Amino acid sequence: MKAPYASVPMLPVACGMLVGIVVTSVWSSSAATWTVIACGVGALVWAVLVHHGLAAVFGASLALGGVLTYGVGAEADAGCSRLIDGVSHSVQARIDDVEVYGGGSAQRALGVIVMADGEAVEPPLRVSLLMPTARPRLMSGDVVRCEAVIERSQAGDTDVPYEVDYAAYNKVRGIAATAYVSASEGKEPEVVARCAGGFAVWLSRQREAIESSIYDSGMQPATAAFVSAILVGDTEYLDPALRDDFRAAGLSHTLAISGLHVGIIAALLSLLLTPLQVWRRGREVKYVTIMVLIWIYALLTGLSPSVLRASVMVSSYYVCRLLQRDGSPYNALALAAVVCMVVNPYDVLSVGAQLSFAAVLSLLLFGEAFNPVSRRRRWLYRLVALFVVPMAALLGTGVIVMVHFHTLPLLSVVTNAAACILMPVMLCGGIVIAALGAVGLAVPMVSGAMDVCYDVINGIASSAAGLPWAELRGVVIGPVVVAAYVTALGALAVALHQAGVRRGALRLMACSVAVAVCGVVIGGDRAPAAELYICRDRGSTGIVSRCGDQVRYYTTARGEERRDAAISKAAERYATYLDVRGATMQAAEFTAGRYVTACGRTIAVVASPIDSYDSLVAAGMKVDYALVCRGYNGDINAVARVFAPDTIIIARDNSLRRHDRWCSESCRPVISMRRQRFSLSE
């Protein structure tokens, strides 16, 4: 029996490029890149000499992967080191991509700094610009002038375990530094040159027109925000509580434009264009029209890895129909992977791309094999598929979700069965509303129906998320468990598609599951009884202190509003840490003028003039560390005289000049939070 995944000519190409990209991304140096390229060329030459076509293709693809990722994650050029000094510079940057966050109040832009302090930057420095303002609204191709403090991204240098490592994410995208843009009065960002028009500008205007039609249609604001998110990817006004409910219910993938959305739209276009088939060449016109419209939609929504993957696979299907040939979905998936890696090799390491390709591969391997109903019983087959398809997708994506998010939605099979019914209705309704809005029409009946559909899907998500067993949180798995899980899935796929080796495959799968269980038991996280971490934020200093299942978060942020914002941000930022520890975060305490005692050590938090500590010092408490924060601007040796600490810790929120001066003048040992992490445990 021939396996359905056999005869996939694009597979060695995709595998070779993937290996080359991963190796040069993990070991980000020119030597590693040239080693990969040399190995690829060597394999190609050897394969040609021995007439081994498969190895030749793999070797050429391996070399191509190394070429595509040449310089991935490389540090800033020595000529740009003057900018990465923690001092504010007047910079001019060309914007490549923009993301709005913080409920629409801030922007994160990827761009290239071409000028700094009136001088050209050679070579240009690729940075991530964090702008605490939504004005001016930037778009791809703009040139912006602003005041920014530029700091080097240090991957793997997080403060608290299980914290999201944004520096590592930036590193694999070739981003050498982060630019913190000032929005204070007189220093607001200024757009000096708008995108010079063209197709990108036209797409941006069409997207804005669609969004306006949705919000002006008469739907409830929450419904309009949801429809705008699933139709054009505008998540700016989505309620954070909605995001949490959808995540816990296993429906978060519906809030971002993905292959599901592209597939639904392709099916809708196929239905609407069916009348074209009455012409002699109508079928060919229909297929070409669908492909063109799908790619326009993909560009309109930002061409994310999942959308690019789906667009390539849809196009492959219709090209095969045009050529009157049988297409292989496995070959289409491998081709999509190759296209994605050529367009942006960094995306192969993104969570979105991993989830997208894993879900589709799992569906191809298990989607039909798990369905016990014959295709001849059409309606019953489709009804069972509503539950089988989400289960098959969860098999492939579950391990990725656990690795990256340390959680697993247990009700995703049921909730996604409902979403498979409601999402096509919501998308079709959104398209109808956008089309009617383009000609100035509004149909209250359609808007009311959309409100009802939204209430249903939101009710399902909130009800599922409210169940105590809806989501398994705090899951920590290591490489051994992941390898065993993938091996088990491979064995299961072989057992389902190759009857002759089913018994051996099942044995292998059982062994793999046993290894996975042992890995979970042996390699599980063993947290110390007590921990303390000092967080390196720029605007204030935070301290996370845990004893048992109680966590206290201390902050030097002043003012009730700022303290509440710091607490809220910390609760979100360290959510996974809390889940893994089975702990809850307690109310924060203001650390200025206080001692923090944890793990048998005492830390004096110096965030105000020394005079305010007289009464505390008089108590005669032994101080192990003096944490000097932004509120203190006196002599560093005065801190040493008053507190007599064993070590002085200079917090991250101090200015660079003050930090350097204190490091050089201190008469006590110094720990710089700019250069290293600090933690205690027992």
- The string over 344-355, giving b where at least 16 C-beta atoms fall within 10 Å of a residue's C-beta and e elsewhere, is bbbbbbbebbbb
pLDDT at 110: 84
Residue in this structure with the two tokens 């196929």, named with its chain if needed: 270
Two tokens at 196?
Answer: 């010079």
Task: Report the chain (682 residues): mean pLDDT per 10 consecutive residues.
Answer: 53 82 71 71 71 73 75 47 74 83 74 85 82 80 88 75 76 75 81 75 81 87 90 82 87 84 88 84 88 90 85 90 84 89 80 88 86 83 85 88 85 87 88 84 83 91 86 79 80 72 61 62 66 86 87 84 81 83 73 76 85 59 88 88 90 86 91 88 84
Distance, in Å, from the CA atom of 559 to the CA atom of 125, rounded to the nearest integer, reads: 37
Cβ atoms of residues 147 and 181 within 8 Å: yes
25-52 pLDDT tens trace:
767 666 666 677 777 777 777 776 666 6
Q: Please, what sign has the CA dihedral across residues 650, 584, 167, 682?
A: positive
- Residue 491 CB: number of other CB atoms within 10 A? 22
- Residue 274 CB: number of other CB atoms within 10 A? 12
pLDDT at 532: 92
Cβ atoms of residues 130 and 86 within 8 Å: no
DSSP class per residue in 605-670: EE-S-GGGGHHHHHTT---SEEEE-TT--S-HHHHHHHH--SEEEE-TTS-HHHHHHHHHH-SS-E
Closest CA to 178 of 237, 228, 117, 111: 111
- Give me the count of residues in the chain: 682
Cβ atoms of residues 370 and 388 within 8 Å: yes
pLDDT at 402: 86
Distance, in Å, from the CA atom of 289 to the CA atom of 268, rounded to the nearest integer, reads: 13
Two tokens at 533?
Answer: 């971490």
Secondary structure element (H or E) that encloses residue 98, with its range: strand 88-101
Closest CA to 364 of 336, 339, 345: 336
- Residue 602 CB: number of other CB atoms within 10 A? 17
How far is the first Cα of the chain from the last one, in angstroms, to the nearest whole number?
A: 59
Helix (H, G, I), strand (E, B) or coil at 248: helix
Q: Please, what sign has the CA dihedral across residues 457, 459, 460, 462?
A: positive
Two tokens at 620?
Answer: 């005669």
Quote helix, strand, coil % in the chain, to nearest 5: 55, 15, 30
- The pTM for the full model equals 0.82
Distance, in Å, from the CA atom of 392 to the CA atom of 363, rounded to the nearest integer, reads: 6
Helix (H, G, I), strand (E, B) or coil at 250: coil
Query: Which amino acid is residue 172, in one-letter code?
Result: V
Cβ atoms of residues 300 and 232 within 8 Å: yes
What is the Cβ-side half-sphere exposure of residue 283, based on CA atoms within 13 angstroms?
Answer: 8
What contacts 24+ positions apart, CB below 8 Å, involve 282-286? Answer: 283/321, 284/322
Distance, in Å, from the CA atom of 34 to the CA atom of 37, rounded to the nearest integer, reads: 5
Query: Which amino acid is residue 618, in one-letter code?
Result: A
Secondary structure element (H or E) that encloses residue 352, with its range: helix 351-362
Distance, in Å, from the CA atom of 200 to the CA atom of 538, rounded to the nearest integer, reads: 35
Peptide bond into 123 cis (omega under 30): yes
Distance, in Å, from the CA atom of 82 to the CA atom of 567, rounded to the nearest integer, reads: 35
Distance, in Å, from the CA atom of 269 to the CA atom of 105, rounded to the nearest integer, reads: 36
pLDDT at 500: 58
| 3-state DSSP of 543-572 | EEEEECCEEEEEECCCCHHHHHHHHHHHHH
Contacts of 1 (CB under 8 A, 6+ apart): 497, 498, 499, 500
Q: What are phi and psi for residue 423, nearest 5 degrees?
A: -60, -45
- The C-alpha R_g of the chain, in whole angstroms, comes to 28
pLDDT at 647: 93
Cβ atoms of residues 308 and 343 within 8 Å: yes
Distance, in Å, from the CA atom of 313 to the CA atom of 331, rounded to the nearest integer, reads: 9
Distance, in Å, from the CA atom of 29 to the CA atom of 136, rounded to the nearest integer, reads: 37
Cβ atoms of residues 601 and 625 within 8 Å: yes
